[in-house]
Amino acid sequence: MTIVGNPFRPAAGSHGLLGRGPGRAVQPLRPDERIPVYRPYLGPEVERAAADALAVGWLGMGRLSRQFEEAVGERLGLVDRHVVSTNSCTEALHIAGRLIGLGPGDEVIAPSFTYVAGHQAITRTGAEVVFCDVEPANLSIDPARVEELITPRTKAILAVDYLGLPCRLDEILDIAGRYGLRVLEDAAHAFGSESRGRPVGSYGDLTCFSFGPVKMITTLEGGAVVTPHEQDVQVLHELRHLGVDSDTDARYRNQRNWEFDVVRQGYRCHLGSIPAAIGLAQLEMIDEFIDNRRLYCRFYDDAFRDLDDVQLFDTDWADVAPYIYVVRVTDPGRRHDLMRHLSDLGVATGVHFLGAHGFTFYADARRGDLSVTERVIEQVVTLPLHPYMDEGTLRRVVDGVRTFFGRDRLGQEATPR
């Protein structure tokens, strides 16, 4: 078997694995060490950033929080759009929902096939979630199915970018415009991805990102809302910090304002200085993270392309910042056995995601036809994908999948593209 896109041989001018810069020492996993689904890079750059921030002594939301927001905006190339950081993507979605006035009696159309955090953010406002099916190609919400579910109670659509693949947001926005709806884009998987040459988050309505422990970059826990409306910024500042009207600017200067008013129901979900410092350090390395993960996804694709037993996503990963790598087992009855086989070989796997319509809490939620969702929730398997994976680790994963399906192990030599 010939494998193209060899991730092991350094590209001209690089150091070691693709994207690894000078001094970026990463300890390979031992052959007997279990391979986790995700292993974040928390090297000396991150440790220094955290130590420097601790030395300043200002631990809460402060100057570094604002610098992180500005750096995110710069990374996304934002023009007339604004970033408000939070302590998680869940809270980003929650306060975005509060911003647009979600409440009891409202409905939000959302895919069942996504993590329950998005659904919980909606129902926390008092609104109800309406489950919509996903497209077979990208497992993101299906615009055609969305329109079938709109009623006079519909107030918003939740669109999710699955594993970094951008959803068909332009079509969702068109539907929303025709019906007077708002669009919340859950881009927790897609920081760094592009659609039609536009960074995710640089267009659309309200976009929410995650910087949690296992995302493309991490602030340990963190998130952000991106809005195109300047007037939203003050409201989001109030929502994320206890409804206080005039404290944020002072905190952005590492100061406190002792004269303020409380003007609305607010929450406590701002991003502190130490997480922001870690996020700034991670942003400096994001191009390396994206480049080598793209190459590993291509390597996996090439290694599995001859397997009729698994279905791959139709992408070359060129515009995708891959959060996770997922295959679909053609015969869902074999998924559990594949995962157990890999576990016995020391390879951890995951399932992204279960269908939320099957959870007790959402048993009575309105829903459309979910035939695609019902099928894929029995098929998807998440394989390990980390920054700076070594050759031995990648080969262990590939060989584990191939041997389960009765195929030869990967050859010792790979042909570079």
The predicted pLDDT at position 24 comes to 66
Question: Same structural domain for residues 166 and 264?
Answer: yes
Contact of 293 with 322, CB cutoff 8 Å: yes
Question: Same structural domain for residues 298 and 319?
Answer: yes
Question: Same structural domain for residues 279 and 295?
Answer: no
Contact of 1 with 306, CB cutoff 8 Å: yes
Whether residue 88 is contained in a domain is answered as yes
Q: Please write the tens of the pLDDT for every residue from 71-96.
A: 999 999 999 999 999 999 999 999 99
Whether residue 99 is contained in a domain is answered as yes
Report how far residue 251's alpha carbon sits from residue 241's, in angstroms, rounded to the nearest whole number: 11
Q: 297, 342, 2: which is closest to 164 by C-alpha?
A: 297
Question: Same structural domain for residues 277 and 292?
Answer: no
The predicted pLDDT at position 274 comes to 98
Question: Same structural domain for residues 154 and 251?
Answer: yes
Contact of 383 with 326, CB cutoff 8 Å: yes
Catalytic residues: 215
Band of the pLDDT at 26, cuts 50, 70, 90? Answer: confident
Question: Same structural domain for residues 261 and 312?
Answer: no
Band of the pLDDT at 25, cuts 50, 70, 90? Answer: low
Domain end call among 238, 262, 283: 283
Question: Same structural domain for residues 276 and 293?
Answer: no
Contact of 363 with 119, CB cutoff 8 Å: no
Question: Same structural domain for residues 265 and 299?
Answer: no
Domain end call among 237, 265, 283: 283
Domain end call among 262, 283, 304: 283
Burial label, 127 (beta-carbon count in 10 A; 0-12, 13-18, 19+): buried
Q: Please write the tens of the pLDDT for every residue from 264-294.
A: 999 999 999 999 999 999 999 999 999 999 9
Residue numbers of the domain that contains 337 = 286-404
β-sheet bridge partners, residue 182: 156
Whether residue 199 is contained in a domain is answered as yes
Whether residue 23 is contained in a domain is answered as no
Question: Same structural domain for residues 108 and 121?
Answer: yes
The predicted pLDDT at position 299 comes to 97
How large is the average pLDDT for residues 204-225? 97
Q: 203, 219, 99: which is closest to 161 by C-alpha?
A: 203
Range from 59-63, 175-179, 193-197, 412-416 carrying the lowest mean pLDDT: 412-416
The number of folded domains in the chain is 2
How large is the average pLDDT for residues 8-37? 64
The predicted pLDDT at position 259 comes to 94
Report how far residue 318's alpha carbon sits from residue 322's, in angstroms, rounded to the nearest whole number: 10
Question: Same structural domain for residues 308 and 395?
Answer: yes
| β-sheet with 380-383: strand ranges across | 310-311, 325-329, 380-383
The domain that contains 305 carries what CATH number? Answer: 3.90.1150.10
Region of 105 (left: φ > 0; alpha: ψ -120 to 50; beta: rest) is left
In degrees to the nearest 10, what's the CA dihedral of 243, 249, 251, 253?
Answer: 180
Which two tokens mark 416? Answer: 């570079």
Is the previous residue joined to 353 through a cis bond, with omega within 30 degrees of 0?
yes
Q: What is the mean pLDDT of the chain?
A: 93
